Structure 1
């Protein structure tokens, strides 16, 4: 008799679709993928400031940092994600969350760090909702509000 594992197996089709949607929304927000440290800042109608910064550039990929910047909230409550963007495949996936570090594909549950079995999927769903909100409620055209950094 074969024992079945209780291990979480991600739905790769669903996850792939999510990565595609995240890519297309990010591509609307970032105007210049080739400039390292390129920053796009925009504000929503809830007076929240958001920033997307390119932190790595290569021929077919970028790594960006997306974060909320709010003087009224403590830093622990302000989301910050690291996202790898694959331009050749047109995909974007969350690889790191500031509050939990690098994200594995799946986790045994329960675990000491209280990660969900599908933590990677949950972080990519959060990015999807965040990008959708940013595009829907952003007050300025993001590409016109660029702040180059050093």
Structure 2
């Protein structure tokens, strides 16, 4: 079971989108065999806010669509500490509502699919998926498509 803490800093995200994101992440968690109690947050922001995060954490000064902050990645010299009585904190996913709207229009698919895609993309990053090289990118994007298709959100 994954507990998801939602924050809408734009005050513009419809409850139906929040519910969809919740269901997609839970579905992906099952597909990825996530066991035990897990926790993550999803925050909806505007382009200005995500540009700030992108600049501060990734040294890229432009708005992006989704950023993830994984809590389970061990840095150099860090030791994994796991208390079985506590939920595993997977991390935070930040989605730009502005970018989601732009991209839904650009790709000519529904805003629902774009929100689901971005949340799933962020979630897979929290699980350790990456796209730093071509092979990893192929794996990650294939996994996203498989999960979205199985969930019933095919590309239109």
* TM-score, with length taken from structure 1: 0.29
Q: Which has the higher strand share?
A: 1
The structure with the larger Rg is 1
Q: Which has the higher helix share?
A: 2
* TM-score, with length taken from structure 2: 0.28
